[in-house]
Structure 1
Amino acid sequence: MDINQGLSQIEANRRFLISGPNEITSRDKKSAFYHFAKKFFNPLIITLIFVAIISLALGEQINAWIIIAIAILSVVLSFIQEYNASRAAEKLRSMVKITARVYRDGQPVELPIREIVPGDKIELTAGKMVPADVKITKSNDLYINQSALTGESFPVKKSVQESSVNSSSSYENPNLAFMGSSVASGFGEAIVLKTGAATEFGKLSKETAQVVNETAFQKGINRFTWLMIRFTFLLVFFIFVVNAIFKGNIIEALLFSLAIAIGLTPEMLPMIVTINLAKGAIDMARKKVIIKELASIQNFGAMDVLCADKTGTLTINDIVLVKHCDANGKENDEILRLAFLNSYYQSGLENLLDNAILNYRTFDLTAIKKIDELPFDFNRRIMSVIIEENGFLKLISKGAPEEIFKRSKNYLLDGKILSLDEEMKKRLEKIYEQFSQEGFRVLAIASRKIGSQEDYTDDDEKELTFAGFVAFLDPPKPTAANAIRQMNSLGIKFKILSGDNEFVCRKICSELKIPIDGVLGGEEIDRLSDFDLERKIEKTNIFSRLNPLQKEKIIKALKRKGHTVGYLGDGVNDAPSLKAADLGISVDNATDIAKETAQIILLEKNLEVLADCVAEGRKTFANIIKYIKMGSSSNFGNMISMAGASLFLPFLPMLPPQ
């Protein structure tokens, strides 16, 4: 087997039969018998069984078996309904596909992660999940986020070299990456070592139960259940004592008390909750919305703040290049050529801006050879490639204009390289600001000659020669303005959390007719204390120039203020916010890490469906509350009437089976 060609399909099929699917058996994959047996551990069912045991002990066998039959019937009905609902939800979840780029028979193909086998050669690119435990065979500024495994907040650099330091943890080995982690930036190739349950993540899943954060509604249902149980036992004890004293017959008093306990028990509550949630999920599926976690429907109904990334969520994500100009704002084909070379030779994070450049025009590449690249990351906000052209090495950088300005020493104009002084820098900033105010997304292009060296780093992105700007248009979605109005009418505040600058954010708000309450930039957020941030976010609805950690910080601050927060995003930089929010919402064409983190997936780019989902969530919540109010009021009314009547009647007004 040639390691560079990957496995043949025949060999991959053979290994699949040996290793099995590359997936971790989740808590939802337990047997039907396990789920059936688990129903008997419901506090309300336990109450019925306890009453039946007492009845047996008192010799009331008929009564006891009737109670047991009621408990079993309740469990069977609940199990059938919930099992069918869970199967339907599983079918919906299976519609969300996570894939990896795998080499089979020497050709790269996109395959579902579950089909990967040991020995496969795979590619690792920004935004992708690491699909198995792998050994790195090629890397280019490859950074892996291992927080799910190690708790480390910052990505770890990976390379082909093994660690020279002995470590007890394999996670610290720079040439190994593990299932459960994701690619933060850079590019790499790797060979799969272990899959499925044999991975470190698989072992961890076996050793520790996965902790699931309960929604506010689930916590409320649990509190209500235990409140009912505590109140029932207190009331039953009181009725038993009163009847025993006044009637003098302890056995009859106990039987009547047990009857009251059964009458007060809302044994159908778990089934009612699950059925309503499943029905809500199926109704949303008809509107092309996939609910990955049933409990998240309640958060849809409870949500009072929706935060959204701008690009691809509020805009149509069909970006076109419209300008390529020099330092004087004049169109220049050399700027376009440099941008094309940068986009063509970069192999990291796939994005729409690069696609727009490549689709605009092509250039002759016969005399050009790629040497290396410095992938994009959200701290530098720049990516560079090193090429060889006509015997000379050149570094070409593309990125956020303010970052390119910081690293530029000269500028190119009419074929001449001139010194970039403060006056010229202000002129460039003015051009950039004007483009942004017109609604364009702007990137700056710069280059420099560079010598041959063994390794290139982002320290080489200095003393650049500024070449010009490329500007893109990404118009808002036709449904965005109406969707935001609908959200506001439902009492939901809308906030934009964007990596773009303030002017671009203001322009999109103007087009969508969103009133601007306040604007806060990423640099200012870093200077604020948690207290000051919590005070300011209430009066701010536009957050600009944010990196992923700043977005997450805003989400957590809103939650501390008591809000139920939803986040709508589709990029690798949105993953921390999707995880931090009460409700993570993404789209079907999002990056793998975004789809994996989100609880809700929109299959169509129609934002108006969000308002329908909120209404569905509130309807589901209302139906459950109706049952709780109706069941509790009728049960309590009937049982208290019976308790009062027992004091005056010479016989028991009710037995446990009744």
Structure 2
Amino acid sequence: MAKYNSRKMNNAAKKQAATFCIEMASAERHQETLARLESSEKGLLEKEAQARLAAYGPNAVAHDNAPPALVQLVQAFNNPFIYVLMALALISFFTDYWYPLRAGQETDLTGVIIIVTMVLLSGLLRFWQEFRTNKAAQALKSMVSTTATVLRRTVSNRDGEKREIPVEELVPGDIVYLSAGDLIPADLRLIASRDLFISQAILSGESLPVEKYDVTGHVQGKDVAADDIPDDSASLLERGNICLMGTNVASGTACGVVVATGAKTYFGSLAKSLVGNRTQTAFDKGVNSVSWLLIRFMLVMVPVVLLINGFTKGDWLDATFFALAVAVGLTPEMLPMIVSSNLAKGAIVMARRKVIVKRLNAIQNFGAMDVLCTDKTGTLTQDTIVLEKHLDCHGRDSLHVLTLAWLNSVNLSGSQNLMDKAVLASGQAALSPSIQSGYFKIDELPFDFVRRRVSVVVEGYGEHQQTLICKGAVEEMLSVSTHIREGDTVYALDDARRDAYLCLTRQYNAQGFRVLVVATRELPQTGLDHPLCVADENGLIIEGMLTFLDPPKASAAQAISALHEHGVTVKVLTGDNPLVAACICGQVGINRREILTGDVIDDMDEAQLAAAVERCAIFAKLTPLQKSRILRALQNNGHTVGFLGDGINDAPALRDADVGISVDSAADIAKESSDIILLEKDLMVLEQGVLTGRETFGNIIKYLNMTASSNFG
């Protein structure tokens, strides 16, 4: 195994894309992954692990370092217009001081002092404002500054032993053990798991944990062949046999083999896109455009004035000085100072409105923004799951169904998901204390990804001694049900009733609801005489359904309408499914006639995408890089684009936008990538920011108009 070291790795392997490493592992069985990595389920030899650490480097991702104060000071003066002013100050020094001094004439440094003072005040004001709000982008580093439990072998212990090591020392081929609350320290191919749910919100933006596969083929002790190869068309976040660095374990346990570390992870590929120089924003391009316009105008006017004055007066030296004086006179010397002071004033005004400005140029971009791209969860919605309806099999409100669901959720001993919490909240408010206390739990069968349902047995509810209450996904519940309750009558679940009920549930799915079915079975008078098992989940009676929704914020529709009145088009970029996105967007007034998904966007060339981003307002099932591609398409179409996001999955788009907007509760790397941070995740705050940005821009334009007319006059 020692042969697997840096000498064996060729350059192509070192440059292998992060997504390729984990994609390859997800498309093969775990035995094949172990063989390819020259590892085993007993772990790596300690000596081999050290060799691989030397070959691959530490398990750390790229990150930005905060520039020293001196560098920030220099960057504050890095402006083409300031270069012009400094050149003119140098010219003024020679024409108004050095040459007259040598000629014994009266000298005048007033012009030089004014120009230099304006340049210094402008640069220092910009430096101080940005220095106070600039933070080091250490979020990515801090996320992996923990330990991991790995299985390592030694010469004396060939079976391996578990040990805690810093995650920076993980290498491909390591066997890692996971439990609830653990951060995934690298890209992993699962080997074994039990009731494993992974929270991928930091990458996908969606709050519900995702179920992951037990690739040994045993879930809760059931004989299930779960080591299936996922569909190649599925995104990495949708593949059940892998875990990605940066996500965390919501519940369950697992072990997996490390496939990629550091920059080669999916997380690391996002980090690399955030390091380095930002792309030019609309304001940067505008400043450069004005500066070059003035330079070109002076390059034309100075020779013309020089030639006219030289030929008419014959004194070419005097004509040269006069032409240079004209160049100085044409320049609006106070422009940098006016721009910086207006931007600083705008930052102060926005701070009073609970908006922190990290980059002053972003204020003008805020005002110039004509397209705002935003995520859905937590921005348009409340970022919480709410039980909207509890319905019988005819689609009518039913307290009976809520009672059954509440009894199921309240008796779960494991971690409760957001849907269970929503059921408990609704039940607490709607059910009488006698119902809540008139029973006790006998047994439970937890949820798993194969069954997609959860069951409890309670005593004291209904006429029978013990009742099995089961809730779960629609298809999985129908597969173990034989009857359906319609009113007070129970009917056999024949094909006609099954199809009718499926149609009813799909109607709610189409409206963006997540649907769970509730069913029961009355146990014999003798009660449950064995531990509850999967075989007991049969012959169920369907009682009704639960519909869940992450509801829109009350202010969302009003804010979108206000932004539209100010000429800002709102587009939604989300990782959620199209039906849910369309439902929420329809409720807040966003056009939902056409929805583009990530896989469709991947099949488009640049020309097709450029046309699509103009007509479409909702983009769903997106990866972080697809979000960035949409932003660039809008920018290439001439739009000034803002992006509002709060997850790591939003960080590349935040950096690529003309103005990146995040919130104080966002992932640290999202805040580091943004230009503006909102202290409240509310679109109404954005409206005020747009108005402040436009007011600032208007003041700058007024100065340009005034000085241009007077100077040219």
- TM-score greater than 0.5 by the shorter chain: yes
Q: CA deviation at 1:443?
A: 4.3
Q: CA deviation at 1:66?
A: 4.9
1:499-578 correspondence runs (5 A): 508=584, 511-512=587-588, 514=589, 516=591, 518-520=593-595, 522=597, 525-526=600-601, 529-530=604-605, 531-543=607-619, 554-571=630-647, 574-575=650-651, 577-578=653-654
Equivalent position SS for 1:610: helix
Matched, 1:81 2:153: no
1:121-140 correspondence runs (5 A): none
Structure-1 separation of matches of 2:107 and 2:361:
37
Structure-1 separation of matches of 2:653 and 2:309:
58
Partner residue of 2:309? Answer: 243
Matched, 1:69 2:119: no
Structure-2 separation of matches of 1:124 and 1:621:
53
The TM-score normalised by the length of structure 1 is 0.61
Q: CA deviation at 1:219?
A: 0.7
Structure-2 separation of matches of 1:120 and 1:361:
46
1:43 corresponds, among 60, 83, 88, to: 83
Partner residue of 1:583? Answer: 659
Equivalent position SS for 1:307: strand
Partner residue of 2:18? Answer: none
Deviates more, 1:76-85 or 1:626-635: 76-85
Structure-2 separation of matches of 1:262 and 1:397:
79
- Structure 1 residues 236 and 126, CA, compared in 2 at 3 Å: closer, same or farther? farther
Letter in 1 for 2:293: L
Structure-2 separation of matches of 1:586 and 1:128:
26
Partner residue of 2:505? Answer: 432
Structure-1 separation of matches of 2:181 and 2:673:
12
Partner residue of 2:569? Answer: 493
Letter in 1 for 2:505: Y
Q: CA deviation at 1:222?
A: 0.9
Letter in 2 for 1:279: K
Q: Which segments of 5 or more consecutive residues in structure 1 lack a partner in the other structure? A: 1-21, 105-117, 147-152, 183-200, 375-381, 390-395, 448-464, 638-658
Matched, 1:611 2:611: no
The TM-score normalised by the length of structure 2 is 0.57
1:277 corresponds, among 312, 325, 343, to: 343
Contact 1:487 1:493 in 2 (8 A): yes
Equivalent position SS for 1:584: strand
Q: CA deviation at 1:58?
A: 4.0
- Structure 1 residues 388 and 594, CA, compared in 2 at 3 Å: closer, same or farther? farther
- Structure 1 residues 352 and 144, CA, compared in 2 at 3 Å: closer, same or farther? closer
Structure-2 separation of matches of 1:410 and 1:492:
49
Partner residue of 1:112? Answer: none
Structure-1 separation of matches of 2:644 and 2:80:
39
Structure-1 separation of matches of 2:631 and 2:336:
31
Structure-2 separation of matches of 1:154 and 1:340:
34
Partner residue of 2:513? Answer: 441
Contact 1:40 1:75 in 2 (8 A): no
Letter in 2 for 1:613: G
Equivalent position SS for 1:290: strand
Matched, 1:289 2:361: no
Partner residue of 1:478? Answer: 554
Q: CA deviation at 1:631?
A: 1.8
Contact 2:64 2:276 in 1 (8 A): no
Equivalent position SS for 1:47: helix
Contact 1:408 1:466 in 2 (8 A): no
Structure-2 separation of matches of 1:527 and 1:466:
44
Q: Deviations over 1:49-96 (max 9, x none)?
A: 4414644774646647555434432333224432443355449x99x9
Contact 2:281 2:657 in 1 (8 A): no
Partner residue of 2:59? Answer: none
Contact 1:51 1:258 in 2 (8 A): yes
1:212 corresponds, among 278, 285, 307, to: 278
What is the RMSD of the two structures over their aligned residues, measured on CA atoms?
5.8
Matched, 1:229 2:298: no
1:301 corresponds, among 340, 347, 367, to: 367
Letter in 2 for 1:228: L
- Structure 1 residues 628 and 144, CA, compared in 2 at 3 Å: closer, same or farther? same
Q: CA deviation at 1:313?
A: 1.9
Structure-1 separation of matches of 2:592 and 2:283:
31
- Rg (Cα) greater in structure: 2
- Structure 1 residues 622 and 124, CA, compared in 2 at 3 Å: closer, same or farther? farther
Contact 1:410 1:466 in 2 (8 A): no
Equivalent position SS for 2:302: helix
Q: Deviations over 1:608-645 (max 9, x none)?
A: 222221111111111112222222222122xxxxxxxx
Structure-1 separation of matches of 2:80 and 2:567:
40
Structure-1 separation of matches of 2:641 and 2:77:
36
The count of residues paired between Structure 1 and Structure 2 equals 525
Structure-2 separation of matches of 1:568 and 1:387:
40
Partner residue of 2:381? Answer: 315
Structure-1 separation of matches of 2:327 and 2:286:
22
Structure-1 separation of matches of 2:180 and 2:270:
12
Contact 2:411 2:456 in 1 (8 A): no
Contact 2:387 2:548 in 1 (8 A): yes
Q: Deviations over 1:223-272 (max 9, x none)?
A: 21122123213322222232222222232222222221221222322222
Contact 1:304 1:563 in 2 (8 A): yes
Matched, 1:265 2:337: no
Contact 2:342 2:696 in 1 (8 A): yes
Contact 2:596 2:616 in 1 (8 A): no
Letter in 2 for 1:410: S
Q: Which segments of 5 or more consecutive residues in structure 2 lack a partner in the other structure? A: 1-61, 148-165, 170-176, 204-234, 246-254, 429-435, 458-469, 486-490, 520-539
Equivalent position SS for 1:477: coil
- Structure 1 residues 343 and 427, CA, compared in 2 at 3 Å: closer, same or farther? farther
- Structure 1 residues 572 and 128, CA, compared in 2 at 3 Å: closer, same or farther? farther
Letter in 2 for 1:230: R
Structure-1 separation of matches of 2:337 and 2:74:
17
- Structure 1 residues 556 and 609, CA, compared in 2 at 3 Å: closer, same or farther? same
% identical equivalent positions: 34
